Structure 1
């Protein structure tokens, strides 16, 4: 790992590329064979694993962890604290063709604070993944995901709820780790504050 004068406090592996115009926050680490393209903004204390590609014009918040072999294409926005499991997939156009440019048809995908995306999950573009949601390994997300939803399957469907701490909630909707309490209203989960 080496420091680069362009990005004080960030560490970049010797085999990684960070293009001119990219931004890396302090404490961020970019590992083997990763490539950060121009106009991509990466916050503080992020980890980009081996073979990660981000950009151009991708936004990654603070404290995100992007595991090996993930490609974040133009139109992807990760808020703070997002976890992307190994080889999860993002798309950015719904009907790509090799011989026709579809850049004008790119669709945005927003992944909200604290969300987790499991290994080999696929996120079809143009949707929002809610805060603290959990996408199971191998799931295929084809629509918006509510905050705290536990999603699994092909296509993904909600099979439960997750707490902020990343614990599956039982029928009592109490986090087994933190004891925070939640309630379900109209197909949404909200935290109950004392």
Structure 2
């Protein structure tokens, strides 16, 4: 199944777009970008040259994915969320050789209007709340909110908040699926990984 690309979008020669991907109005994908299969790029999305987007990714309206961002499979990028790629930008100082790599691991959710400061890794199935500012690495399954973003809990693969274990450590279950997770204070993982 070929990608569906709206006629108002600009896909530069050399960009790779996977089968079944849908690209909506006024999107610009630069020549060096790689977009996976079954993705959705909403209205007014920009994707830079040195960007890799995995399979099944949903990038909502008004998101710019700048150079040196890697988005793994099944990530959700909420409306108007922001990636950066230079830590200390100045209009009069060229810093194109100082881009910092940002990695968003499989299954993560980046809420509407959140900001991801370059150079961080967002863990698998992490959940960044709307409007949060992420300036450091986020653990797998972590639920973070605020400015700067701080962990306030854990999320399941199904996107459900996990109950807090007694004493901060122990086994908990996803209220939607029954999947078991092991929490040890500062980390969370599946009890029975696939």
Which category describes the TM-score, using the shorter chain as reference length? over 0.9
Where does structure 1 differ by over 3 angstroms across 4 or more consecutive aligned residues?
A: none
Name which of 71, 80, 84 aligns with 2:77.
Answer: 84
Alignment of 1:81-120 (within 5 A): 81-120=74-113
1:180 pairs with 2:179: yes
Q: What is the CA–CA distance in structure 2 between the aligned matches of 1:160 and 1:73, rounded to whole Å?
A: 29
SS at the partner of 2:143? Answer: strand
Deviation track 1:2-54 (CA, whole Å, cap 9, x = no partner) reads xxxxxx61010010000011000000011000000011000000000000000
Q: How many residues align?
A: 187
Distance 1:127 1:54 in 2: 18
- 1:148-185 CA-partner distances (Å, limit 9, x unpaired): 00000000000000001111001252101110011112
d(CA) in 2 for partners of 1:177 and 1:54?
34
Structure 2 alignment gaps of length 5 or more: 166-171
2:169: which partner in 1?
none
**Counterpart-to-counterpart distance in 1, 2:5 and 2:118:** 29
The aligned residue for residue 56 of structure 2 is 63
Tell me how far 1:59 sits from its aligned partner. 0.2
1:155 aligns with 2:154: no
Partner of 1:4: none
Unaligned runs of 5+ residues in structure 1 are 1-7
RMSD of aligned Cα (Å): 1.1
Deviation at 1:186, TM superposition (A): 5.2
